[in-house]
Structure 1
Amino acid sequence: MLDFLKKTGKLEPFEIKNSSLVLCLVAPGLYLYSVLIFHYNLKAQEIPYMREILGVVFFMVGLAPLTKKRIVINYYGLYVFFALFIFQHYLTYTVALNNFSLDYLLGTYVVMFGAILMLNNRGLILVFSASQLLHMGYRVLTSDIDIVTEGAILISTTTIFIYSFIILNGFIRYRQGLLEVNQNLEDKIKQRTLDLENRAKELYERNKDLEEFAYVVSHDLKRPLRNIHTLASWVIESDRSDEDKTQEVSENLITLQEQVDQMDLLINGILNYSLQMDKEKDVKLVDVDKLVKRISKVNSTSTCIIKVKNKLPKLLFNESQLLQVFQNLIQNAIKHNDKETSEIEIGHEKVNKEHVFSVSDNGPGIEEKYHTKIFQLFQKLEIKSHIDSIGIGLALVKKIIERNGGRIWVESSLGKGTTFYITIQE
């Protein structure tokens, strides 16, 4: 009901301004017209002070938009309608009271025509016109005037209503057409604005990724390069005359080749990721168990024990991105460990439709207040200057996991080690 009334009484800002101005001018005009009528027509009859009261009503309705209240602005067309409706019926009553004298009749016709022109809703115009026509007809037919005068008054009143409605009907159609065109333009502008905002957001994220690219490459390829360098040194220093060294050299070369392959995979993966390649591209069935064991083999030493708690599943994922995830989590656990022997454990469990992986260590732990900060780019918590970190690894892991619809969080407290959890959709 309120929506119907709001739609019926809705006026455009310029219409509110025009109606307000007209009503403010009509208010003193009523008083002046009354003075003139009684000055030139000593037999004129009216309800005492009614024109003054109506003048005050018009003035109040005219000034109402200045309050800027929503109930006034949204329904102002109805306020104008009821003010004109009451005044017009009063004029019809006074016309009959004064035996349809010409001075009253002309004033009634002028107000009648002007009132219809101020309305912009077909329903309100029909209600106004029909009620006034019925009221005028009733007053005419119950009066003592001759039949010719009766016919002239009824025909002139009907003609005013018909022509007013015809004129306004064309204006209303034209106005509705303009409103539809305006609405279409606004919808197009909103859509274009939304498209531009989305595009700007995409460009911003892409530029941000490109800015991070150099840091990411530096961070993720540093360890494979060091491993290649070390393995190459072992090969060079191996004593080929020793028959026990032949197998060692072969194993070192195989490991060296794996490191080169891993580095190549990382380069391609980081490049694609930095350019915001879709997560669905290059997705294949990855054996997570083999992938983690490959990383563990490279990072395990006499002072670093890496265990896989249970057999890890096979998942549809981008292999290079998944490699970055586990490599960063494992190397992060090694890098920041303060124990003589680092102990790292990788676990997995299926929860509903999610695979939940965990990487636990026996390191120094992380205060709860830093549990969010550690996932931010370039954020480092370590105090020891010899720790080689630029604060990218965990930020990169978070980005990869979240862009693939997963979650990442940490559970840790000082002195009790740390466990990172990641989820991957089934």
Structure 2
Amino acid sequence: MKTPLRIGIAGLGTVGAGVLKVLETHADLLEMRSGQRIVVTAVSARSRSRDRGVDLSTVRWYEDAVALASDPDVDVVVELIGGSEGIARDLVVTALENGKHVVTANKALLAHHGNELAALAERRGVALALEAAVAGGIPVIKGLREGLAANAIKEVHGILNGTCNYILTEMRETGREFGDVLAEAQKLGYAESDPSFDIDGVDAAHKLAILTSVAFGCPVDFAAVHIEGIRHISALDIEYAKELGYRIKLLGIARRNNGGVEQRVHPAMVPIDSPIAAVDGVFNAVVADGDFVEKVTFVGRGAGAGPTASAVVADLLDVARGRIAPVFGVPSGRLARIHTASPEERRGAYYLRLMVVDRPGVIADVAAALRDENVSMEAFLQRGRAPGEAVPVVLTTHDTDEASIQRALTSLESLEAVLEQPRLIRIEQF
């Protein structure tokens, strides 16, 4: 029997405690599956007194997480601190430089520094494992990198943030506005006290940048991701979406386009009968479209102690088995620089909602603004009449390009009868 695989865990919050629990609960099962006992020999956390549900009295504690990365009795460093800079980055770099394997759930770190960290891991001949960084317990990294390795991927899209998916689901089911549901999500622990990373789309963009690299074999390029959040989505938009046969989801989309790859995170209307429309609550979903396998859908819990810890321990098993895969599917030196497709190159249908003064000639002005940019209307909705008052006008377009619709938006916003910024939501026909 091999000597034990010695683990050092930096960060004993919700996920760290979950990892300890999985390792204790399934110690014999994990040893049987990997051929090696997995033991925790060192940890680093802010508080020693907090009860993590596991006896840590015989484990070495480090006040300085980076020092843990130099411990000669640690073979694998599990980084669960979070953040793209500071201690988390120093810890991972130090561990890799010392020839230690690293398992991380840190999507921000990988989105901003994944290229250099992958190259460092390869130079040192160690693993940098990242399954837990994207979609929690859903094995989407292994699915893309290994399960779909025989395919050229055409597109990856999905629901990558459970907080936003919960908020949009509750808005649809209860008719409440965004602010009310966000406050409830914070009380339930589904949203942070500062929810900006989630609701402004940054968290999903971190994950999409990683998925794009794995799917298309290109360097991680977070700066190339077009990002919009869900703050502007109203109960009115959700109700109109239902009437038009759609549901609104915050999506991450990476797609080959005009010889390049576009990366977008934004709210989108998806057909109500599409598989991704049925993914509600805090669940995540990722759809990969390969040239031979066609569409494959991964669905599950995208966050939380159990799902994320499950992914971390799965990576530890790979290390114990001696499996060291290229971080993003191909060696870092062979990641192909692919043209970044501009968001303005997107072509598709759009939903527009305008708040206008109900008076003669307004609709003609709206139609003229669209006509001037070669944007063709597909459907038009106006509920009732309220002469002289503000009323919502909703329309959907036939396929057009993003640049044209953005110019039309500028023209519409300048109309005297349009009382507030027009609301635009892209329609994705999956």
Task: Tell me which interval the TM-score lies in, with the shorter structure as reference length.
Answer: under 0.3
Per residue, is there more helix in 1 or in 2? Answer: 1
Quick check: which one's strand share is greater?
2
Report which structure shows greater RCO (CA 8 Å, sep ≥6).
2
